[in-house]
Structure 1
């Protein structure tokens, strides 16, 4: 006996709801299991180099919510400025590289050259050229986003199905309209993945960037903990960086889901 359309729709919605509940349960169990393993490891470790989650929370309480928020806000603002500036420039350069072969031939060697040079290695040079204010921090963080996003955008444009472009040309679309209405939407999944990778790279360079004459920031807080051998403070900084990174990645993932809503998903 065949199910009616309404019955099939109800079954599909029930399966989707069950899948969402299972995923959320998996996330909670994963976080709880990780904290439990951390606690067990700290109990088995007879050294002060591995504080327990309780000690880290106690350090956060001693430091105070306002101080933590000030450090977090400073780091997030630096990440946002560097990421937005670096990604914007990367999208422009990547689109040009993917669409114009001559431009790609001229710029690709330089992109690959600087990809082999870690942004952290440029900190001394950037500091000498730009001073010890906020600008060198933005440059280092922006460079961490620029390189992977540029490569992803260029590759996304190159991977666009040529059949789609040919059909648009046959229908009389101009180059500008093809680029705007065909190439960019088709390349958007790869572009969004590149942006998420770039954001992760930004957080990965934060600690080193905030060593440049900083007085605030999660990276600064972590380095201060290392200077005074305050291991719980080091762990607190690491946890806060990870949590902020996850939150920003989830926000970017939500944008990705919206931008690529047309894409068929499993």
Structure 2
């Protein structure tokens, strides 16, 4: 039996989902919307009230424009995020497991980490054109840099006690890597995915502001030209909802894959 199997048996499972969590989440959103409405009614803000924004949501949804923009942005985020995360995980494991690979790759990772992906957008447009390639590339880069660091940190943070115990039991390096290192690194990897999703959405909006013919960022730019605040709010809400749904999917995956981990 592997070390991680022993942990599975000993550690308590994550607390089951409870309806109360949904209640407090809904209450939080309702309170925020109520404060927003109150601020507009009392004249504390020049922002459009929630009912005006809701009317614009219905209008854009019925015309089909909202779904086209959401689909365009979501497609770019998914492609860039999946490609970036898929490459980040093996590179992170390579850096964490082999010191030589770490010495070679880590300086490049740290170099590109201090350069905001948004700063690369003009260069990507010049070199890759104005179609989908530059947008997907900068999203890929943002997701990759977030996930690779988390994966690497997960590998180097594995408790040496587990590795030494596995070696005492006769496990080879391959077995230790598959049965100890990968499971212990999974929480770090999933945290990197969540951070990468946020970076991906921030990057795609900026990319669409510069060069796009569709997308939520493009729609906000067009609305800005006409001081169309309700449409800007619609795009912001759509981005928030899509990002929240994707984040919840990752959280649910984390709950299933790391049920052995003791949490508060």
Q: Is residue 99–residue 157 contact of structure 1 (8 Å, CA) maintained in 2? A: yes
- In structure 2, how many angstroms separate the alpha carbons of the residues matched to 1:163 and 1:55? 59
Q: Secondary structure at the match of 1:23?
A: helix
Aligned position for 2:6? none
- In structure 2, how many angstroms separate the alpha carbons of the residues matched to 1:22 and 1:260? 22
Q: Find out whether 1:45 has 2:43 as its counterpart.
A: yes
Counterparts of 1:25-174 in structure 2, within 5 Å, are 25-45=23-43, 49-65=46-62, 66-174=64-172
Q: Is residue 120–residue 140 contact of structure 1 (8 Å, CA) maintained in 2? A: yes
- In structure 1, how many angstroms separate the alpha carbons of the residues matched to 2:210 and 2:236? 18
- In structure 2, how many angstroms separate the alpha carbons of the residues matched to 1:167 and 1:264? 20
Q: Find out whether 1:203 has 2:201 as its counterpart.
A: yes
Deviation at 1:27, TM superposition (A): 1.0
Deviation at 1:195, TM superposition (A): 0.8
| Residue-pair matches, total | 249
Among 171, 174, 179, the residue aligned to 1:176: 174
Question: Once superposed, which parts of structure 1, at least 4 consecutive aligned residues long, lie more than 3 Å away?
Answer: none
Q: Secondary structure at the match of 2:115?
A: coil
What TM-score results when the alignment is normalised by the length of structure 2?
0.89
Q: Deviations over 1:181-201 (max 9, x none)?
A: 110001111111111111111
More moved, 60-69 vs 138-147: 60-69
Q: Is residue 127–residue 212 contact of structure 1 (8 Å, CA) maintained in 2? A: no
Deviation at 1:212, TM superposition (A): 4.4
Aligned position for 1:7? none
More moved, 202-211 vs 121-130: 202-211
What CA RMSD, in Å, does the superposition of the two structures yield over aligned residues?
1.7
Q: Is residue 218–residue 237 contact of structure 1 (8 Å, CA) maintained in 2? A: yes
Aligned position for 2:221? 223
Aligned position for 2:261? 263
Aligned position for 1:253? 251
Q: Is residue 137–residue 212 contact of structure 1 (8 Å, CA) maintained in 2? A: no
Structure 1, unaligned runs of 5 or more? 1-15
The higher relative CO (CA closer than 8 Å, separation ≥ 6) is in: 2
What TM-score results when the alignment is normalised by the length of structure 1?
0.89
Deviation at 1:217, TM superposition (A): 1.1
- In structure 2, how many angstroms separate the alpha carbons of the residues matched to 1:217 and 1:45? 32
